[in-house]
Amino acid sequence: QSALTQPASVSGFPRQSITISCTGTSSDVGGDNYVSWYQQHPGKAPKLMIYDVNNRPSGVSNRFSGSKSGNTASLTISGLQAEDEADYYCSTYTSSSLVFGGGTKLTVL
Amino acid sequence: EVKLVQSGAEVKKPGESLRISCKGSGYSFTSYWISWVRQMPGKGLEWMGKIDPSDSYTNYSPSFQGHVTISADKSISTAYLLWSSLKASDTAMYYCARQYYDSSDYYRAWGQGTLVTVSS
């Protein structure tokens, strides 16, 4: 069982916006700003999309944004595109360990 | 360009030992930690542990401590993940990943993955 809880699946139509939540505790998500998000397409390595809650690495589309409120972090994807269909994982660092959420499968309808 | 190139797929029997590798290039290998991440078939990502290639200091996830060994040879810019006695439950894809920037636990550069299959 993952330390971070994500919905198993979310879906949306092209051009819509969706939000994926990642719920932890005050000891991890709520305790600092070490939250990141990864995108993984089938058969591919994960890709860093968001770090430090709301920062994007260079080259990542500004359609991806992150936020946090209390013990829950969120990834929002605006203007959904077909290529956004993938698995998404949140992650944080706590007690000297990196932990991932269970992952959320995004389906673009 | 930062690149991590992993060794090829392996098929092993239970009880056998195995070492898979991850060769870094395009950056100073000793300046960034390398982590290993497991992904079992159809499942999510699990952090196994990390190594500082400059001095081979390691930090393991409690879930993997004692089950695997992470090492590095800085002379050839290569990190390793070792098993002394494989189990069927070790069947998974294994990724190495490089720390994004100093002191962070974010990973932007990833290897292509090494598929390990353990079956009698």
pLDDT per position as a tens digit, B85-117: 999 999 999 999 999 988 888 999 999 999 999
**How far is residue B30's CA from residue B102's CA, in Å, rounded to a whole number?**
11
Nearest CA distance, B114 vs chain A (angstrom) = 10
pLDDT tens-digit series, residues B44-88: 999 999 999 999 999 999 999 999 999 999 999 999 999 999 999
Give the span between the Cα atoms of B95 and A38, in whole angstroms. 14
B32, B108, B112, B114: best mutation site toward chain A, by most A Cβ within 10 Å?
A: B108
Three-state secondary structure of B91-120: CEEEEEEEECCCCCCCEEEECCCEEEEECC
Give CA–CA dist A91/A80, Å, rounded: 22
For B110, the closest of A34, A36, A45 (CB atoms) is A45
The pLDDT assigned to A2 comes to: 60
Contact residues, chain A to chain B, C-beta under 8 Å: 2, 34, 36, 38, 40, 45-48, 51-52, 57, 87, 89, 91, 93, 96-103
CA angle B101/A59/A107 to nearest 5° reads 110
